[in-house]
């Protein structure tokens, strides 16, 4: 079994994605960085129990945190492979680059996979018709920690229309995602943005793109 097939099989084992339970933080990230190296849920939970016992953490809470990071990391990696399988893209040589995942038309892009944001003031239908508005909103409301930046970004927006709380499952809907991604890459539409920065003399003008995947 190839690594990709194994990981996708493991991702599909996850029946419930527990809530994070807390904001991401450096210490808990450090304790749970094993998620990048482990492929199976069994291995993740074994390491959760080991670290929780060593650091005096509540197993259920730390496990929820670690499983979310494991699921998000591996689904992001698998989806990135779908982009890189298309001839219009080229990989970033440094897999640990913080702001570039791939190149499209020679432009560097960071891949950001998100649920359709509940706080967005318009409907998803409005966002489809006005992608500039959603892209601008996403930049302005991104977390000020971790991967905050104003460089080029491609947003993959997921939404289960009937049960929004299950939108997380669409991160592993690889066959449908491959079709959506390759349709976009066959004729990509890039959005030129201007991001006002009140406390800075510079005005970032990134390129952005949005792919919607809804069910």
Residue 201 has pLDDT above 70, yes or no: no
d(CA 94, CA 78): 17
Q: Which residues of 61-88 are buried (b: 16+ CB within 10 A; e: fewer)?
A: ebbbbbbbbbbeebbbebbbebbeebee
Would you say the pTM of this structure is higher than 0.85?
yes
Residue 145 has pLDDT above 70, yes or no: no
The β-bridge relationship of strands 102-104 and 107-115 is antiparallel
Task: Kindly state whether residues 43 and 93 are assigned to the same domain.
Answer: no
In the chain, % of residues over pLDDT 70:
94
Task: Kindly state whether residues 194 and 93 are assigned to the same domain.
Answer: yes
Domain housing 171 = 86-214
Which domain-ending residue is among 80, 102, 132? 80
**pLDDT at residue 204 in the model:** 86
Task: Kindly state whether residues 74 and 94 are assigned to the same domain.
Answer: no
Task: Kindly state whether residues 130 and 194 are assigned to the same domain.
Answer: yes
Which domain-ending residue is among 80, 107, 134? 80
142 confidence band (pLDDT: 50, 70, 90): confident
Size (the chain), residues: 215
**pLDDT at residue 114 in the model:** 95
d(CA 187, CA 184): 6
Task: Kindly state whether residues 59 and 111 are assigned to the same domain.
Answer: no
Task: Kindly state whether residues 10 and 106 are assigned to the same domain.
Answer: no
């Amino acid at each position: 079994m190839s690594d990709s097939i194994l990981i996708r099989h493991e991702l599909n084992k996850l029946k419930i994605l527990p809530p994070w339970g807390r904001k991401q933080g450096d210490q808990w990230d450090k304790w749970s960085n094993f998620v990048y190296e482990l492929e199976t849920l069994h291995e993740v939970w074994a390491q959760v129990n080991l670290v929780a016992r060593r650091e005096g953490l509540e197993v259920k809470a730390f496990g929820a945190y670690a499983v979310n990071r494991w699921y998000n990391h591996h689904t992001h990696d698998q989806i990135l492979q779908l982009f890189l399988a298309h001839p219009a893209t080229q990989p970033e040589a440094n897999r640990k680059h913080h702001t570039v995942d791939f190149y499209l038309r020679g432009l560097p892009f960071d891949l950001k996979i998100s649920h359709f944001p509940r706080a967005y003031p318009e409907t998803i239908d409005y966002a489809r018709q006005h992608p500039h508005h959603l892209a601008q909103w996403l930049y302005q409301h991104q977390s000020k920690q971790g991967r905050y930046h104003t460089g080029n970004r491609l947003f993959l927006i997921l939404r289960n229309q009937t049960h929004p709380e299950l939108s997380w499952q669409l991160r592993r809907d690889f066959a449908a995602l491959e079709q959506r991604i390759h349709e976009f890459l066959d004729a990509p539409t890039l959005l030129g943005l201007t991001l006002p920065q009140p406390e800075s003399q510079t005005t970032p003008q990134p390129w952005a793109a949005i792919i919607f995947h809804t069910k």
